[in-house]
Amino acid sequence: MATETTIEKRETQTTQPERVRAGRTYIPSVDIIEQPDKLLLLADVPGARRDDLDISYEGGLLTIHAKVTPRQEPRSATCLLREYGVGDFYRSFEVGEGIDANKIEAELHDGVLTLHLPKAQALLPRKIAVKAS
């Protein structure tokens, strides 16, 4: 088993989303924060709903896919300015073996997806008790 807890961007063509519906695909901005017992991954996915998120971990690859429903505008309305693009979000990371995949948790709040990636117990620092004689 590796002794590192790492997350890396995978730069291969195999991680590109398959186009099954029209529209744009955006790469969400993320922050990755290391804590003593876990890594936190925070991803911006504005407009995504909990039911439209697909998060998977397989073969060391962590994948985030968020489907965002286009906004419906009244047919009688004329859009004077349109800067906000609507589309899906997709990003994948190669996760080191130091993560306990069975305990990964996700939550969505105000357009920010938070993934809790707990470190494997074997890699956590261990305090050794000293016995007095």
What the block records as the tokens of 5 is: 């807890």
Q: Minimal CA–CA distance to 91: which of 22, 7, 29, 20? A: 29
| pLDDT (tens digit per residue) in 34-51 | 998 899 999 999 999 999
Averaged pLDDT score across all residues of the chain: 82
> Average of pLDDT values for 60-79?
83
pLDDT at 116 over 50: yes
In a domain, residue 107? The reply is yes
Q: Return the pLDDT at 18.
A: 55
- Where residue 29 sits, what CATH number does that domain have? 2.60.40.790
In a domain, residue 130? The reply is no
In a domain, residue 99? The reply is yes
Q: Return the pLDDT at 45.
A: 95
pLDDT at 22 over 90: no
Instruction: Specify the number of domains making up the chain.
Output: 1
For residues 34 and 5, is the Cβ–Cβ distance under 8 A? yes
